[in-house]
Structure 1
Amino acid sequence: MPHPVIVRPIRRSDLAAWTPLWDGYNAFYGRSGPTALPEEITRTTWERFFDEGEPVHALVAESGGALLGLAHYLFHRNTTAIGLNCYLQDLFTAEAARGRGVGKALIEAVYAQARQAGSPRVYWHTHHTNATAMRLYDQVAEHSGFVVYRKLF
């Protein structure tokens, strides 16, 4: 019988197990090899999780002592609400753990953190080709209909 999936805040001792998940997430979005994130970004992101002054947070899903997934989220102000909004920036489940409810558990845990912080909403983006994830997202949230534009510098 498989061990239950537990979602918890990340710990400093998770670095070695978190790194392959982070790398897998970035590879999924084409940020590997020559287009990989600079190591400085990974180090800075990691440190932000443990800085009380930062609005960036991390949860991990664990089962039987192994990390199966991650969720990174942040709180920010918004011009249309008094409370802080919660942006689920990164969500990733290890390939071997997919289909076990890990992604849903991580999203639900972010929802709980947002409610605890008094946030009126949680939102996120995904690429339109990410059909597998969108099947889950359609079960746990509503598609806002918004299209994202960006300009990189």
Structure 2
Amino acid sequence: MVALTREERRALRSTLLDRAPWLGDTDRGPQSVSAGECDLCGQEARLVQPCGPPPSALGAAAAPTWALGRRCAAELGVAGWCDGHAEEARTTLAWLAALPANADLVARLWWVACGEVRPDPTLSRTAVALIAADTVGNAGPPGADEALP
């Protein structure tokens, strides 16, 4: 299964939200950024969009909507956010640190479920296996349940 039907995507969204309530957060996580990989390392799912200036490694080509994965955000730390948002940065970094180990995969599945990306065959098989095995993970950061619509 490479392409999911509208009904399959809707079911996947519902399943993901039930099993990974942190996906419901619209201030951080896959709903808060454009689908894709971390703009710094290209290896992790984009999960947060700091408000500070882009890291020098991104150069002048950094888009105004640059976003980071968990490890790059942790490495950048509070410095990734502007001075006025230091507390938000600390909260976001704690939120990222509390995510389950499979958060990158779950974020990519969320984007598939929302129709933002098409799954490759491996991701399709993974989606089916995760749902069938009920291993998406219920754990999430504190307060994640409150952000659900």
TM (norm. structure 2) is 0.26
From the two aligned structures, give the one with the greater helix fraction. Answer: 2
From the two aligned structures, give the one with the greater strand fraction. Answer: 1
